[in-house]
Amino acid sequence: MVKYIARRAAIAVVVLFGISLIVFAVLNLQPGNPYASMFSPQTDAATREELLRKVGYYDPLWLKYVKWVGRALQGDLGYSIQLGVPVTAVIASRVGNTLVLTVAAAVIAFVFALPVGIYSAIRRGRVSDRLITVVTFGIMSIPAFFLAMILIRVFSAQLKVLPSSGMITPGFAGTPEQVTWDVIRHLIMPATVLAAMSFATYSRYIRSSTSELLDADFVRALFAKGLSRRSVIYGHVLKNAAKPIVTVLMLAVPGLLSGALITETVFSWSGIGRLGYDAAVGRDYPLLMGITLLLALVTLLANLLGDVINVIIDPRIRVQS
């Protein structure tokens, strides 16, 4: 198993290197000077040129990349052009907020998708299954920003039961329990929007995996022995369906992270997605590079974790690979 994980990790490192190279080239080949915002109108041309040479603006692209990789391997991703602070510090201050949002969304999506997928598999081909299919594809078709606008209009503007934006009420001061509840109230709508983007995918894969196993010979044998449907499904079918379900959950991580960009922007949630949007608008290339690298790393780690879990569930994988 150690050799299997080491081989997968080596592949992940190569992929991460390729991603960093492509993203770095794309960002640095953009026209214009991203450092222009650093200078005041009173800065003379000679001073500007001297500062640009110090930051390596006139270095060839390959040298810029080599310098960046050298610093990145030491944990230094440079300084944010807009904020003037280390990129690692800016990302560290926001990554926890995105983690809270994405974990909450993933839990909500899976908790609802699991029973819906199983029920749809049991009732496959019937009216209820077709109705669930229509509803799930309908949810999948709704743009995240549009669903967010609907929730804000209904629950914030009309019913006035949930806050429309932010992570906490401005100026709010209370006990830790009150602060936690205030954050949860701000979390409900963005987490729901983000969960809706994954719910349809989760439920369809769970339905597909469960349906295939319900037609398997060993399942028919279990029913023939007199076992109840509940014990067969939860004790045997889901156990064998765990491998594809885990794979889907891990592959959904990039979708959650990319969806967080839109969701965090609409709801003014101070996370990595909102930070990435601001960095792109402000042409803050060092910060944007750091965020992209982080998202790529999280995606690769999620896939690696999925591989490890699958090996634990089905040891035959390490032999076949």
Neighbouring CB atoms inside 10 A of 256's CB total 23
The CA-CA-CA angle for residues 226, 227, 230, to 5°, reads 145
pLDDT for position 1? 67
User: What angle, 0 to 180 degrees and rounded to 10, lies between the N-to-C axes of helices 238-251 and 253-267?
Assistant: 50
Q: What domains appear along the chain, each with residue ranges and CATH number?
A: 93-280 (1.10.3720.10)
Q: In Å, what is the CA distance from 64 to each residue of 67, 162, 199?
A: 5, 47, 42
Prediction pTM value: 0.79
Gap between the Cα atoms of 313 and 321, Å rounded? 15
pLDDT for 38 equals 66
- pLDDT reported for residue 240: 73
The residue type of 265 is T
Tokens of 208: 């597909």
Contact at 8 Å (CB) between 273 and 281? no
Triad 117, 118, 121: Cα angle to 5°: 85
Q: What is the pLDDT of residue 41?
A: 66
Dihedral angle sign, alpha carbons of residues 298, 89, 290, 180 = positive
What per-residue confidence (pLDDT) applies to 320? 53
Identify whether the C-beta of residue 195 lies closer than 8 Å to the C-beta of residue 106: yes
Tens-digit pLDDT profile for the chain (321 aa)? Answer: 677 778 888 888 888 888 889 888 888 887 777 776 666 666 777 777 777 787 777 788 888 888 888 888 888 888 888 888 888 999 888 888 888 888 888 889 888 988 888 888 888 888 888 898 888 888 888 888 888 899 999 999 888 888 888 888 887 777 788 888 888 999 999 999 988 878 888 888 888 878 877 777 787 887 787 777 777 777 777 777 776 777 777 777 777 777 777 888 888 888 888 888 888 888 888 888 888 888 888 888 887 877 777 777 666 655 555
Alpha-helical (H) ranges within the chain are 2-28, 45-54, 61-72, 87-122, 127-141, 144-151, 176-214, 217-224, 229-232, 238-251, 253-267, 272-281, 285-313, 316-320
